[in-house]
């Protein structure tokens, strides 16, 4: 039953609607980022721990981080392609 409601929703939404939804979410995310206080992030690690972490960062860590970003972008594209 839920599958049919999703497919009927995707038939009714147009590309312009989808683009508007995505742009609206992006604007909301930017505004929320500017409104929230992110100063507490500086205090999560001491300066010595940050230096140790950055010195021990290797190309394998960079590869893993790139793979995680690629998977997240792929999931986003998959979700968008359902509506197009």
Give the residue numbers spanning the domain of 1. Answer: 1-36
- The encoded tokens of residue 15 equal 């590309």
The domain total for the chain is: 2
24-74 per-position pLDDT tens digit = 899 998 888 888 877 877 788 888 888 888 888 888 989 999 999 999 999
Question: Are 45 and 79 within one domain?
Answer: yes
Same domain, 58 and 32: no
Tell me: do 70 and 49 sit in the same domain. Answer: yes
pLDDT number for residue 77: 87
Measured distance CA(52)–CA(48) in Å, rounded: 6
pLDDT confidence of residue 11: 64
User: Under a CB-based contact definition with an 8 Å cutoff, are residues 22 and 80 in contact?
Assistant: yes
CA R_g for the chain = 20
Quote the pLDDT of residue 1. 46
Same domain, 49 and 20: no
Please give the Cα distance from 81 to 77 (Å, whole number). 6
Provide mean pLDDT across the span 2-21.
Answer: 67
Are 10 and 28 contained in the same domain? yes
Task: Assess whether 32 and 45 both reside in one domain.
Answer: no
């Amino acid at each position: 039953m839920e599958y049919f409601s999703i497919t009927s929703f995707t038939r009714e939404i147009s590309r312009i609607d989808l683009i508007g939804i995505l742009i609206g979410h992006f604007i909301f995310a930017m505004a929320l980022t500017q409104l929230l206080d992110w100063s507490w992030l500086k205090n999560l690690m001491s300066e010595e721990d940050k230096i140790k972490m950055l010195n021990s960062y290797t190309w394998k860590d960079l590869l893993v981080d790139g793979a995680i970003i690629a998977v997240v972008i792929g999931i986003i594209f998959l979700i968008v392609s359902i509506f197009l």
